[in-house]
């Protein structure tokens, strides 16, 4: 096993990456949905197993949070358990999150508790539009209770999604589930569970900023968009009121860290704020500092 993560030696922490395939997979070809996402983001993914990602991020001197999405509409080629095991083998850069579909009910809650206890996952990923649930639906609350009890963060996709984009009917994906205002209820009901609103939440950017400003435990990650498309109000809040709660994220493998950072460097972000966004806020959230 490699050495543990050394925060001082890292230049950044990417809080939002996806493992797209198992390291044991024989077929390396992306599925139809993944291929469509590659076209949408105008990027052909190169590294999509956890070990491949670890090697890439190691060269970049970055750590990364990695997960899959547990949902019928998102074909998985890799399990939560494999991600956790491989992340722990690459613990100098990889941080495992898990994903549980809230529709799995009691079995899902039991699985979450097992992943926390036996696999030491460090948080959970939800994608309401793909998993087809409103985040404030009580169906998900037993799962949140297990996460909150462990004092782990929950990361939620918000806003428009690249999943299904450009395909007939958007692949059946419905955007309504990913309005960040729905997470205001969750934040109020689970004040001890850190919540990350993933992505610039188009078309609900101001709702996301409102929730993150009002609820102390709510963060925003900047993944899934090139920074050159960030709305001015997001940049304004990142520089001021939310400077301690904005997180670097890419949505890798659909966006390369180098591309994201090159565009981010062109934004009018204050010099003293950049290290907070790139590393320090995530280190605090993930209890690495």
pLDDT in tens, 272-289: 999 999 999 999 999 997
Q: Across residues 247-261, what is the average pLDDT?
A: 95
Is the pLDDT at 40 greater than 60? The verdict is no
User: Which pLDDT score is estimated for 34?
Assistant: 52
Q: Across residues 158-168, what is the average pLDDT?
A: 76
User: Which pLDDT score is estimated for 160?
Assistant: 83
Cα separation, 222 vs 197, in Å, equals 9
User: Which pLDDT score is estimated for 41?
Assistant: 45
pLDDT in tens, 8-32: 999 999 999 999 888 876 555 555 5
* Residue 18 token pair: 């996806």
- Cis amide leading into 253 (omega within 30): yes
pLDDT in tens, 109-123: 999 999 999 999 999
Q: Could you give all domains of the chain from N- to C-terminal order, each with its CATH number?
A: 7-285 (3.20.20.140)
- Residue 136: strand, helix, or coil: coil
Cβ count within 10 A of residue 243: 17
- The least confident of 26-40, 61-75, 235-249 is 26-40
Percent over 90 (pLDDT), the chain: 80
Cβ count within 10 A of residue 162: 20
* Residue 95 β-bridge partners: 65
User: Which pLDDT score is estimated for 9?
Assistant: 97
Contact 84, 27 (CB under 8 A): no
Average pLDDT of the residues of the chain:
91
Cα separation, 254 vs 17, in Å, equals 9
- The least confident of 25-34, 41-50, 238-247, 269-278 is 25-34
- Residues, the chain, total? 289
User: pLDDT grade, residue 264 (50/70/90)?
Assistant: very high
CA angle, 69 then 229 then 171, to 5°: 35
- Residue 219: strand, helix, or coil: strand
Contact 248, 285 (CB under 8 A): no
Q: Across residues 166-187, what is the average pLDDT?
A: 88
Phi, psi of 84 (to 5 degrees): -65, -45
Is the pLDDT at 163 greater than 80? The verdict is no
pLDDT in tens, 82-109: 999 999 999 999 999 999 999 999 999 9
- The least confident of 2-6, 177-181, 208-212 is 2-6
User: Which pLDDT score is estimated for 1?
Assistant: 46
Alpha helices in the chain (DSSP H): 32-41, 50-60, 80-89, 105-119, 128-131, 141-149, 182-189, 205-214, 232-239, 257-264, 274-275, 281-285
Phi, psi of 117 (to 5 degrees): -75, -50
Cα separation, 20 vs 8, in Å, equals 29
Cβ count within 10 A of residue 217: 16
Cα separation, 103 vs 123, in Å, equals 18
pTM: 0.91
Nearest by Cα to 231 from 129, 159, 173: 159
pLDDT in tens, 130-144: 999 999 999 999 999
Kindly write down the DSSP assignment for every residue of 248-278, as one continuous string: ----BTSS-HHHHHHHHTTS---TTTHHIII
Contact 221, 247 (CB under 8 A): yes
CA angle, 110 then 136 then 198, to 5°: 85
């Amino acid at each position: 096993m490699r050495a543990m993560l050394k925060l001082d030696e890292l230049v950044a922490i990417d809080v939002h990456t996806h493992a797209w395939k198992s390291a044991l997979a024989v077929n390396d070809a992306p599925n139809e949905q993944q291929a469509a996402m590659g076209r949408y983001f105008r990027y052909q993914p190169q590294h999509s197993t956890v070990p491949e990602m670890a090697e890439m991020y190691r060269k970049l001197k970055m750590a990364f949070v990695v997960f899959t999405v547990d949902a019928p509409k998102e074909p998985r080629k890799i399990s939560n358990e494999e991600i956790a095991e491989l992340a722990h083998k690459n613990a100098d850069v990889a941080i495992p999150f898990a994903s549980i579909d809230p529709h799995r009910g009691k079995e899902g809650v039991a699985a979450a508790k097992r992943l926390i206890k036996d696999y030491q996952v460090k948080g959970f990923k939800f994608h309401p539009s793909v998993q087809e649930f409103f985040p404030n639906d009580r169906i998900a609350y037993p799962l949140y209770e297990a996460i909150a009890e462990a004092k782990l963060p929950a990361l939620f996709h918000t806003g428009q999604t690249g999943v299904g984009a450009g395909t007939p009917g958007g692949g059946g994906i419905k955007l309504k589930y990913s309005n960040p205002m729905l997470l205001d209820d969750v934040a109020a009901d689970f004040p001890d569970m850190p919540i990350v609103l993933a992505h610039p939440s188009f078309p609900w950017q101001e709702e996301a900023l409102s929730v993150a400003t009002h609820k102390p435990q709510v963060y925003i990650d900047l993944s899934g968009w090139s920074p050159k498309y960030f709305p001015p109000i997001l940049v304004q809040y990142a520089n001021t009121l939310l400077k301690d709660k904005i997180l670097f994220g890419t949505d890798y493998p659909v966006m390369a860290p180098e591309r994201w950072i090159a565009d981010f460097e062109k934004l009018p972000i204050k010099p003293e704020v950049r290290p907070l966004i790139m590393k320090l806020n995530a280190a605090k959230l993930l209890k690495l500092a």
